[in-house]
Structures are given as C-alpha cells and as structure tokens.
Amino acid sequence: MRNLFIDILVKEARLNEKIVLIVGDLGFNVVEPFKKEFPNRFFNAGVSEQSMIGIAAGLSMSGFKVFVYSIANFPTFRCAEQIRNDIDFHNLPVTIVSVGSGLGYGNLGYTHHGLQDYSLIRSLPNTLICSPLDNNELKSSLKYLFKNPQPSYLRLDKSLNIEIKSDKKNLYPGEWNLMSKQKNTKKLILSTGSTYNDCKKFLKKKELQFNWYSIPMWGMKVKTSQYKKLSMYNEIVTFENHIQDGGFGSWINEVLSVNKTKKKIFVQNKFINSKVIGKVGSENYLNKLYGPK
C-alpha cells in the first residue's frame, strides 16, 4: 500500500501543483519518487512531529493540499494537540498518512504499534478516517480526498498488497463496500482497514453465513448515517486491527446505543487484544497470539 500511495500521489501532483508532501525523517525507500520529481514540494521536517504538523497547517492555509507521511504513532500521538488545534479546528485540507497499521512494525516494539490511533482521530469532529482494506479502496479513498480536500487520516498497511474485485469505482464516506453476499441472511460482518485475512478465516469457519461489507471511510462526520443499514441485521460482527476501546467496533456500538429501538441486535467485536502492549515480534507472530479471533 505504501508504494501505491506514493505512485498515485505523484500522478496527482503532476496535475495539481499545490500538492505537497512532508515527512518526519521517515519513509525513505518509499517517498523518493515524489522527492525526485517535485523537490520544491517535498519537505523533511526531521524528528519534530509537532513542527511537522504546524508546517502542514501553515502551508494549507496558504492554498496547498498537504500530505504528511510517517510511521504509526509518530504523526498522531506525538502531535495530537497540533492536529486538534491547527488542522481539525480550522478545518484545513491536510491528510495525515500513517503507515504500519495495527502490528505492522511489531518487531520494533510498542513505540511503533498502531493500536490506539482510531480512538484519537475519531474524536476529532472534522476529520475523516480512511482505512482501506485493499488497493482498490485506497485508490477510491485518495480519489475522494483529491476532489474533497479536508482534514483526514489515511491509515495504510505496511505490506499488504491485495486487490479485490469490486463493482464500485467510487466510494464515499460512510458507504459500505460489498465483499461477499449471501441470500436471505440477517448476519453481517463489518470491517475496516487491513482485516481481509481475519475476515476470510472467520467466514470459512462459519461456512459463509454472513454478508460482509468493508467501510473504508468513516468517523464522526458520518456516524448518524449508519443506523438504518445496521438495523436490517440481527447479528453483527466487526473486525479491526486496533484495540477494542475507542476503535471501529466501539463506533458501531455507539451508533446502535444512541438509536432507541426495541429490536435486539447481537454485536460481537473482533479486535487486537490489549495484552499485546509491551510485546515485540513480527506482525504475523503477534497477530497469531493477539489478533482478531
């Protein structure tokens, strides 16, 4: 996903001279194509994430469409105040790109785990979360953001590189993207982000009794639009590569809790167990022990 993101950004930057990329002294062996072609629109802010976000805000207020790129926690928690006050509060067209969702950099330890970013970002009222499942959802998310610049958070998998056939070339915030459908079922899987393999394993175990949809673009802005579709089902299982608290499953639970109804909907959340905190190992190893089950 990282390389595809840069490829798409380079192509769009050829058409739009206002696109800028900022990195925090990370991303090398990935971002060079942009740096080489647009040296005057590429900035390395160094190991200074708070300043990086401040620079992004200033450039966007001057008419630029800014993308900020770094690993997991660094462009989020290290500069949470600047994201809230400088970008979200002022509703600026800055996209924060986080690479290594979930346990993508698990071998580097907890400092690099991307497990609590949803909880931070989805508390910001103007910021749209984009957490694509595959390359097609990444393309659709970027296509939307290029046409609708706004505060946004693009959460990329470190190494996943799959492309699932889909009838939809254009996706919009809050829209469900069909992965698989069964006849006459009231059971639903809802996923976001890099959970393809987890959902496939679950479906195989349950003998395909569920409809499965991915929601690649979500957040506070589209929360109220979800209940009508959710209420069509009796059983819902959510999947995410994030801890439970403040995550995608919590978001779905909140949608259901604020809409008073007599209908009983059973909800089960699949997430990364918080016991992984403090653990070190490869992404595959840690997911086997602590991943969504």
pLDDT of residue 62: 96
pLDDT in tens, 63-109: 999 999 999 899 999 999 999 999 999 999 999 999 999 999 999 99
Residue 265 lies in a domain: yes
pLDDT of residue 272: 97
- 166: tokens are 């889909």
- 257: tokens are 């809790």
Residue 264 has pLDDT above 90, yes or no: no
Task: Classify residue 260 by burial, with Cβ atoms within 10 Å: 0-12, 13-18, 19+.
Answer: exposed
User: Quick one: average pLDDT of 51-58?
Assistant: 97
Residue numbers of the domain that contains 83: 2-156
Helix residue ranges per DSSP H, the chain: 2-15, 32-37, 49-61, 80-82, 117-121, 135-147, 196-205, 227-230, 248-258, 283-290
Do 150 and 197 share a structural domain?
A: no
Residue 137 has pLDDT above 90, yes or no: yes
Residue 260 has pLDDT above 90, yes or no: no
Question: Looking at residue 19, which CATH number applies to its domain?
Answer: 3.40.50.970
pLDDT of residue 72: 87
Spatial separation of the C-alpha atoms in residues 65 and 203, rounded to whole Å: 40
Q: How many CB atoms lie within 10 A of CB 263?
A: 10
pLDDT in tens, 144-163: 999 999 999 999 998 888 88
Residue 169 lies in a domain: no
Residue 122 lies in a domain: yes
* pLDDT above 70 coverage of the chain, percent: 99
Per-residue pLDDT band for 130 (boundaries 50, 70, 90) equals very high
State which amino acid sits at residue 6: I
pLDDT of residue 77: 95
Do 199 and 148 share a structural domain?
A: no
Residue 49 has pLDDT above 90, yes or no: yes
If you average pLDDT over every residue of the chain, what do you get?
94
Do 285 and 140 share a structural domain?
A: no
Residue 170 lies in a domain: no
Do 151 and 195 share a structural domain?
A: no
Spatial separation of the C-alpha atoms in residues 224 and 146, rounded to whole Å: 24
Do 182 and 143 share a structural domain?
A: no
Do 144 and 225 share a structural domain?
A: no
Question: Looking at residue 184, which CATH number applies to its domain?
Answer: 3.40.50.920
Residue 168 lies in a domain: no
Residue 172 lies in a domain: no
Inter-residue contact 283 to 104 (CB < 8 Å):
yes
Number of domains forming the structure of the chain: 2
pLDDT in tens, 219-228: 999 999 999 9
User: Quick one: average pLDDT of 175-200?
Assistant: 95
pTM of the model: 0.95
Spatial separation of the C-alpha atoms in residues 161 and 258, rounded to whole Å: 37
